[in-house]
Amino acid sequence: MDDSIDYIYFSIPYVVIPNSFYIINYTNNELYVLQSAVTTVYTFPVGNYTAQSFMTVFKSLLPVAFVIALGQNSNIFTITHTTTTFSLLTESTIDAIMGFSGTLAAVGLTLTCPRVCNFLPLPRICIRSPDLAHSFISATTDGNDVVLAVPNNAKLNGQIVYNNTSNMKTLFKLENLNSFYVSLTDDDGNPINFNGISSFFTFQFDIHRRSLAKPLPFNKLVSFINSQSTLEPANT
């Protein structure tokens, strides 16, 4: 550790992230359906969906006896089976997309999701670094290693651009740092697949050193030493 260092701040001045990730991906594309004591898992292909395109894929994956409809004004899915009751199970990872959570049982042959469907992209991207974070930004389930949450302000297939216009900086508390790990995730800590498109970001470390007395120039230092060596010893 350099003893002349008083403190160090780190910051992220600039970030460019591609809005190239899919709304439905490998972390949220499974629907668990319980019917007649049998659980079936339906896996939706990854990609970007609208409510209408989702219903088309739903009808192609599930048996023909399942019917799905979207409320014209409510934007809520209603699912019906023509002959047998059923439940959507809590193990489903596509629940937030469809508008439910936990296990949801049909009433009779019909099930209506309690919330609107959500085909919006991620609202923000979390930049995480366990070595640098100090629990000052929160995420849905795990924010202990988040150093910056970047709002998604871009159109689909556009660029999410962040500039640290407020000059936000964080105190660096480690004794030393040889390397550090960085990941980009959603709020739940799931890594984001940008489908081969690169992200760019800058980490900046501002080192503040204490003021030290300026040494004498070399010629004056030599003169001072010589003058001390020629002084006569004091009388006793």
Convert 155-209 into a string of H (helix), E (strand) and C (coil): CCCCEEEEECCCCCCEEECCCCCCCCCCEEECCCCCECCCCCCCCEEEEEEEEEE
Mean per-residue pLDDT of the chain: 89
Average pLDDT estimate for 184-198: 94
pLDDT in tens, 96-134: 999 999 999 999 999 999 999 999 999 999 999 888 876
- Please classify residue 80 by burial: count the beta carbons closer than 10 Å to its beta carbon, then call 0-12 exposed, 13-18 middle and 19+ buried: middle
pLDDT in tens, 21-45: 999 999 999 999 999 999 999 999 9
Q: Which residue has the higher pLDDT, 84 or 130?
A: 84
Average pLDDT estimate for 88-93: 98
Question: How far apart (Å, rounded) are the C-alpha atoms in residues 154 and 170?
Answer: 26
Joined together, the tokens standing for residue 145 give 């290693």
State the residue for tokens 């896996």: 43
pLDDT of residue 63: 96
* Most trustworthy range by pLDDT among 126-135, 196-205, 221-230: 196-205
Question: How far apart (Å, rounded) are the C-alpha atoms in residues 147 and 149?
Answer: 7
pLDDT of residue 235: 58
pTM of full prediction above 0.85: no
Q: Which residue has the higher pLDDT, 181 or 137?
A: 181
Using 50, 70 and 90 to split pLDDT, how confident is the model at 135?
very low
**Cα→Cα distances 70→86, 98, 183, Å:** 19, 10, 37
Q: Who's near 14: CB < 8 A, 6+ residues apart? A: 162, 163, 164, 200, 201, 202
